Each structure stands twice: as structure tokens, then as C-alpha cells.
Structure 1
């Protein structure tokens, strides 16, 4: 199923990842800057199980993988996927019967599998990180079932890439001192990739499972793994706990599948040594990896250069808001009330684009739905602090008090100043949307300014009729939050 088309004509992009542990199909709804997951399914096949001893793909895993590929071919056709690419990594790459398996898949499904080299695997994983964080700088580690890759990132560019057999399915067959073996391999890799890395980006299901254990052990208030950031000392505590935990305790500490958790102890041993050998100052978990890297590869440079958060919010506005295009005008109207900090202004724009996407919801649940859109949404380019600020701004957009039960556990993520900024953004959007409805010309005919003592709303002749009690009440709410007195009059 080799389907090619021009980038501009792509509607759905399909990626099949034939890994050592799982086989997965992801269908992206277009090659947009921020990935929209139209379909995502994996089958845990274990193709690489026992490969170190046998030299061939695991027979049961091979049969399951072939069946999965047949299903994925049928699904891709039913979804009218216009561009479909399948890649295989370490297990198929190293197995004596890997080529035979690829021929069998091609004969039965029409799908040609590209067996990629380890360095290509490292590059694609790093590109996946770039999809969510365009200016990422540090070291990417991607662990699968049968290989572990490392790649440098410097100011948004992929540098040196290396690959190794430091992965659970391979290490399970190592005789003798496994930790000493891991240390020797990592020491050799350190000579090839020798920079200083502030941030270690973790890619791969086993790493994400480890991060989930850390979250649960610490009662972390967010459930989103993407952009979960922690210090090495904190991670080491969790890795040491995993090493001493019983299988029952380990299973109870995570929501990951039993098959995935079986790989975690060995992956944890690799990560523990990786932290010692490379010495990063912080760790960042990425939900984006090889598959997203393949999507990133299809994007022209001008699309890659766009902000993934803002692009995702623009798509949501375009598909769900009443007044498409109004959000950017509202954000520009609100922005002067806040410090001219790039990070904060970016959140203002994101909030403006999302402020109206839940208008079809019941009014009693609209505030909570807006909150959840930010907290649970697939938003790249947004760290956890920014995610909570965005959610709180949208909550204040629809709820006067800004109170919500689930927010209580999240307050610790923001300091007092950040909480206040989120409240001001939301209440200012509430005022601007009430004043203008969805007409940007009304905003253009109004002026919202602040002094040390007052918050002033001035309306021009064409906007004067849009004023009223509701607008005055929301101006007063915002002024109170800003510690100022409200005033209104003619412009």
C-alpha cells in the first residue's frame, strides 16, 4: 500500500511502527504542526523476545504481528489514509528471518516495511521531541524492547545519534553482572556522544511507565505524562524503589499493562546508569517519539517553524468556535493588562483561541469542560505549569468565582503570581467576550487601560451601544481582582 501525494493534499497520514515489543498504527488527521490522533492502536507482539538466543523473530510474536498488519491495512483503507509508511526497528533489523517477515507482510497486505537503521531510529525519536518542543536542547534517550538510542538536540537540530542493545528483551539474556554490562556499554557510548546535556528527554513506553510510577508514588496532581519534568535525584528514588519492589507492588503502582510493566525493572536499571554516566540536570518525559518524528519529517520547513501550541489551538477554534478568528483579537485586547513576557503572552493567545470552543456545552458544565480541554488536551509545546495556567484562565472565562473541586489539587503547581495572572486573563476574556459578542470591530472601538488605581473601559461611538449592566459587572470583577477601581466612559 504505497500511497504518495503532495503534502498540501494530505488529509490523513498513517504510520505503522513494527517494534521489538509492540506493533502500532497511528493515523494523524493531516500533517498539521500539532499532531491530531485520528486513530491509535497497538498490539503487544513481542517480536524480539528471545532473539539474542535464537537469532530469529519469536514465532508467536511473528504470527501476532502479521495478523496485526492485516488488520492495520484494512483499517488504513477504511480510513482513506492517503499516505501510509511502515517502519521496523531493532528486532526485524537484527533477526535472520526479518527480511522474510517483511516479504510476507508485503504479499499479504500490500504494505512495504522499511527496516530502518539504529541511527535513523534515534533521529526519528529526536524529531518527535522537536514536534512538541521546537527549540529543544539536550539528549534524547529512546528505549524499546531490543534497542536503546541516544541523540543530541541543539537549538532544534538533531546532532550525533548512536544505538545500542541496552533494552529489556536483550538484557534479559545477558549472563553475569547485568549492571556492570550496562555500565560498560554506556561508557563506550559516552565516548561517541560526549557533550554536556542540561536536559535528558525520555522517549518510549517503558520510560513513560517509569514516570507514571513516579507520579503515583508522589501523588502528583496532573495525570499528563507529556512534559513531566523531574530532577535526577527524584527519579533515582523511584528507580531504587522499582529495583526493590515485588512484582505485585510494581503492578499496583501503575496503570500500565502487565506486559509493559514486565519490561520496566530492566529499563529502570538502564536509566539509573544513564543518569550516572551522562549527568543531566533535569529529566523531561516526552509522549512524542518515533511515530511523531515520522510526521515531523513530512512537514515543510515553514510548517515546522510554527508554534505547536498555537497551531493546535487554532485548529480547535477553526473546528469548534462560533466566531472563528475572534480569539486572536480578544487575546490582543487582553494582552496589555499583563507583563510583556513572551511566555505569558503566548498563553494569552492560546486562551483567546480556546475561549469559545465549548459553547455548545450545557452552561452548567461549560467552565469545567473548558478546564478539561486544557488539562487533558493533546497540546504540544506546553509544560505542566503552563497547562494549569491555561486551564485556570479558561475556567475564569466562564465561572465568576473560578472555583472548581478538581483545581484544589493543582494549586501547588502555580505560585501566587501565576494564579493571579491566570485569573486576570480569564476575567478579561470574560469581559471582552461579553462586550463584543464575537465582533472584533467592537473591540477595536474600545480601550481597556490600567493605572495604579483604576481600570478604565472606554467605548467609542460605534461600540457605545454594546455597553450595559453585564459589561459593567464584569469590568468590576476584573478591576477587583487587579486591586483597582473600575471606571467606564466614552472614548
Structure 2
């Protein structure tokens, strides 16, 4: 089907089929995600040939994927293979067999392509313009350095979580000596890249090992927000997590919340790689990107690769507005009223809204009460839940929560109810500012209650009796006046000035 896209990712540890469908906005949404722990790396013999059993495992898994892609009537499925197939001496024979037995044209990615697609996904779905990416696979580890959203350096190491386990660990979990040997090896490999040293940048992790590490961290912290994309960990938390996992028996590790059972024996090698990279780069933080190689391949084929002018967040907010059928003409009009009032209150020194806060306000105006799409009566609740729990490319978790609190504003009581589980995320001043901005948004939307865009201009003067809003409209605005009179109380309490409205 034209609106569905499939990709098969043949990794060294897992094979995965993902099917995407386009939303109204053009955003790709996963509708199927089928994983098979094939561990093809274990079938690569000493002569670097994929054994007969390994080829059989590959073909039978792909045949099972074929049944799913046929069911979805996909006319084209991208099928890509990474390190194990790339390193196999019999890769050409494997390619021919895959084509003959399954009908899939298997593309073997080069080291550069594997690194490039990870980078491409990161710069198109995160707010970072400079950073280091790492994708630990089963048989290789790809690292890139990008600046101004442009790829500057890349390297593919011929080791991954599964190959490290095979090379250094004789049991389910490494002994102390095995851990020390593995640590020395990983460090020596990273030392080969002088461009990694003391970069003091965020490390952006891609792939299953990074995802599992973050899931464990969230579970241990009882993290109150949904979503993994753009979850941030301070470097010291990776060390703490390593110490905790080192203390567990293999049986307990398999039952650890957040960790896939099939990755239990690979978690420690992966953690050691992350920890060494953070140490050598003096990383400012570790951030997870849920978007990686598969998304990177689609970005290459469906949109222009990221440039310096690409605005990931603007695109994401536009997608939200389209998906929830926001009337953009009305949104633009209300945003104009909002900025007009902000400028007036700044001029009078009633408020001091800076450039960054103006951007946040405009962003929230674009999605204010988008929950009306689901139910008008409970739009506030739906708005908060949707914005707080939906992945928004370009927004870190705290910023996403701020957007949700502003765009869902109804009143003080409801605001406190939403904010309560996250009180330790904000200072009292920050919470007060978010409540003020939410109240401003609600007031401005009341000035367009009938959605006719009748209010043309707002001027504010400071009188003896308080603030006087001079509201000029092109047509009678009785409904707008009624709603604005009702909503101004929320603003009055926060700016500590009586507000008087004069419509003309």
C-alpha cells in the first residue's frame, strides 16, 4: 500500500521487521514491530563464513517476515543487513539465497552507511546541532561526531555487545578478570580516535542496548513520564547502573524490570562500552534516541537530509497541529493577539518575558487544547495526557512537560493536579511562570471565542485602577467579551493587577 512502508533490519543479535504507516501530517507511525533473536553472530565460524545453520536461521526468519509483509500488501520492503553479514566471507552467496528463497533484495550496508543512517536519524529527530552518536550492535559499534548538523567524523568498530561477550566472557556473566580485560580492550579501541577525547558533548545512544539501559534507569527511578526518546541521564548514573547490575546474579538480571530477557547477558558489555565512551569524551550527558538506522534510511529516501536550516521542533509541532486538525488560521490569529499582549505587558514592565519564553508561548499556542479533537468537554485532560506522553521530536522531556502544562491550562486547581507528580522537576518560580503563561493562552483564546478572528488589536495602559485592555474588533464581539471577562481572573491573580476590558 502506498501509505505503508516496511523495513527489515538484519543485525548480528536480532532481526527486526518494522512496518510504518503515514499519519495525516506525513509522520511515520509504527504499526508492526516484529523481533526475532536470531543471534547470527554465533553462526559466524573462525573462517568468517556464516554456517549452514546460520543461513537456515536467516532464511526461515525472513520467510516468517514475508508472510507478514504479504498480509499488509507491501509492494516494496527495504531489507538491510549489517555487521555479521557484512563480515561473512560467503555474503554474496547469502544474498543470492535470500533473493531466491524469500524474494527480498538484501542490501549489505557498508560501515559508513551504517554510521551515516544513525547520524541522519539523530539530527532529524533531536534538538542537537552538535554531538556524538553511538550504536552498539551485536557485532559492530558505530560512532559519529557531528557539528552544525553535519557529519564530521565516523568510525565502525568491529566489536559489539555479542562479539565482546563471545571474545571475553566464558560464562553467562563476566568474572572480575574478564571485566578488567574487556574494559582495557574497549578503552584501547576508543583511544585510536583522537577526535573523541574531551569533546564534552552529549552522547546520543541508538539501538537496543541504549534503549534497555534507559528502560532499567526509568524503572529504578519510578520515572513518571511516558516515552524513551530524548530521555536524558547524567554520566554518573551510568556508573551507578553498572555497579547495580554487577551486583546481580544472572537469574535476577533476567528478571530485571526494563531489561529484555534475551539481552541479559549482553547488558554488562554494552554498559562498559557506554561508560568508557562517556569517560573518554567527558560527556555532558547521555541521551537516548529511539530513532536510528531504520528511520535514517527512510529519511534519506523521503525527505532531504538535515541541513543547518532544518528545524526539527517546528516540524514536530506542525505535525501535531495537523494530526489533531487544529485550525491554523485561528491559531495564527490568536498567536498574534498573544504576542501583542506580551509586548504590551513587557513595555509596561508588568512582565518580563524573554525571547526563549516567547518561543515557548508561541509553541504552546499552536497546540492549545488540542484535546478538543477527542472530546470538547474534557479537552484539558486529553491535551495534557497527549502532549506529556507523546514523543515530540526536538523536545527533551522537561520541555515536553512544560508544553503540556501550558497548553492544557484550565484553572489553578487542574494545573496543580497535573503538575503535582513532577513538583521536583521545577522550582516554585518556574511553576508560577508556567501557570501564568497557561492563563495568558486561555485568555487570548477567549478573545477568539467564536473563531471569527474579529479582535484586530489589543493595547494596554496602566491606569490608577489597574490595567486597561483596549480591544479593537472588526465586528460585534459580545461572545469574546463575555468569555474574556470570565477568564481574566486567572491572569489578575498571577500578575497582581486588576484587569479592565474595553471593547470597541
State the TM-score, normalizing by the size of structure 1.
Answer: 0.86
Check if 1:126 corresponds to 2:138: no
> For the Cα contact (< 8 Å) 1:34–1:131, is it kept in 2?
no
Q: How does 1:211-230 map to 2 (within 5 A)?
A: 211-230=214-233
- Structure 2 counterpart of 1:476: 489
Check if 1:323 corresponds to 2:324: no
Check if 1:183 corresponds to 2:184: yes
Q: How does 1:12-161 map to 2 (within 5 A)?
A: 12-30=4-22, 35-51=27-43, 53=45, 55-57=48-50, 62-63=55-56, 65-76=58-69, 79=72, 81=74, 84-133=77-126, 135-161=128-154
Check if 1:262 corresponds to 2:262: no
- Structure 1 counterpart of 2:316: 312
Aligned-partner Cα distance in 2 for 1:426–1:325:
21
Check if 1:163 corresponds to 2:166: no
Aligned-partner Cα distance in 1 for 2:85–2:352:
54
Task: For residue 225 of structure 1, report the CA deviation from its aligned partner.
Answer: 1.9
Aligned-partner Cα distance in 1 for 2:24–2:154:
26
> For the Cα contact (< 8 Å) 2:25–2:322, is it kept in 1?
no
Aligned in 2, Cα 1:234/1:125: closer, same or farther, shift over 3 Å? Answer: same
> For the Cα contact (< 8 Å) 2:227–2:390, is it kept in 1?
no
Task: For residue 281 of structure 1, report the CA deviation from its aligned partner.
Answer: 2.4
Aligned-partner Cα distance in 2 for 1:140–1:75:
32
> For the Cα contact (< 8 Å) 1:16–1:85, is it kept in 2?
yes
Aligned in 2, Cα 1:263/1:368: closer, same or farther, shift over 3 Å? Answer: farther
Check if 1:201 corresponds to 2:204: yes
- Structure 2 counterpart of 1:7: none
Check if 1:279 corresponds to 2:290: no
- How big is each residue's C-alpha offset from its partner over 1:333-356, in whole Å with a ceiling of 9 and x where there is no partner? 324537664543343333222224
Task: For residue 157 of structure 1, report the CA deviation from its aligned partner.
Answer: 0.8
Aligned-partner Cα distance in 2 for 1:254–1:455:
57
Aligned-partner Cα distance in 1 for 2:225–2:258:
14
Task: For residue 303 of structure 1, report the CA deviation from its aligned partner.
Answer: 7.4
> For the Cα contact (< 8 Å) 1:48–1:169, is it kept in 2?
no
Aligned-partner Cα distance in 1 for 2:438–2:25:
26
- How big is each residue's C-alpha offset from its partner over 1:407-453, in whole Å with a ceiling of 9 and x where there is no partner? 3221222233332333233222322333313636224x242648696
> For the Cα contact (< 8 Å) 2:19–2:30, is it kept in 1?
yes
Check if 1:464 corresponds to 2:477: yes
- Structure 1 counterpart of 2:407: 394
Task: For residue 181 of structure 1, report the CA deviation from its aligned partner.
Answer: 4.0
Residues 357-366 or 240-249, more deviating: 357-366
> For the Cα contact (< 8 Å) 1:31–1:298, is it kept in 2?
no
- How big is each residue's C-alpha offset from its partner over 1:440-491, in whole Å with a ceiling of 9 and x where there is no partner? 6224x24264869637362424253333433211122223223322110035
Aligned-partner Cα distance in 2 for 1:28–1:82:
13
Aligned in 2, Cα 1:362/1:245: closer, same or farther, shift over 3 Å? Answer: same
RMSD (Å), alpha carbons: 3.2
Aligned-partner Cα distance in 2 for 1:31–1:128:
19
- Structure 2 counterpart of 1:447: 458
Aligned-partner Cα distance in 1 for 2:411–2:137:
45
Aligned-partner Cα distance in 2 for 1:71–1:325:
48
Match among 227, 235, 248 for residue 245 of structure 1: 248
Task: For residue 158 of structure 1, report the CA deviation from its aligned partner.
Answer: 1.1
> For the Cα contact (< 8 Å) 1:334–1:425, is it kept in 2?
no
> For the Cα contact (< 8 Å) 1:49–1:58, is it kept in 2?
no
Aligned-partner Cα distance in 1 for 2:214–2:326:
39
Aligned in 2, Cα 1:482/1:218: closer, same or farther, shift over 3 Å? Answer: same
5+ unaligned residues in a row in structure 2: which ranges?
A: 169-176, 343-350
Aligned-partner Cα distance in 1 for 2:450–2:320:
16
5+ unaligned residues in a row in structure 1: which ranges?
A: 4-9
Aligned in 2, Cα 1:467/1:365: closer, same or farther, shift over 3 Å? Answer: closer
> For the Cα contact (< 8 Å) 1:326–1:438, is it kept in 2?
no
Which protein is bigger by CA-based radius of gyration? 2
- How big is each residue's C-alpha offset from its partner over 1:178-225, in whole Å with a ceiling of 9 and x where there is no partner? 543443344344333524242111111111211222222233332322
- How big is each residue's C-alpha offset from its partner over 1:43-77, in whole Å with a ceiling of 9 and x where there is no partner? 13333342465544476665454344345445445
> For the Cα contact (< 8 Å) 1:327–1:349, is it kept in 2?
no
Aligned-partner Cα distance in 2 for 1:178–1:321:
54
Aligned in 2, Cα 1:13/1:197: closer, same or farther, shift over 3 Å? Answer: farther
> For the Cα contact (< 8 Å) 1:147–1:163, is it kept in 2?
yes
- Structure 1 counterpart of 2:433: 421
Aligned-partner Cα distance in 2 for 1:83–1:349:
40
Residues 76-85 or 139-148, more deviating: 76-85
Aligned-partner Cα distance in 2 for 1:448–1:61:
74
Residues 416-425 or 164-173, more deviating: 416-425
Q: Number of paired residues?
A: 481
> For the Cα contact (< 8 Å) 1:332–1:349, is it kept in 2?
no
Aligned-partner Cα distance in 2 for 1:455–1:245:
66
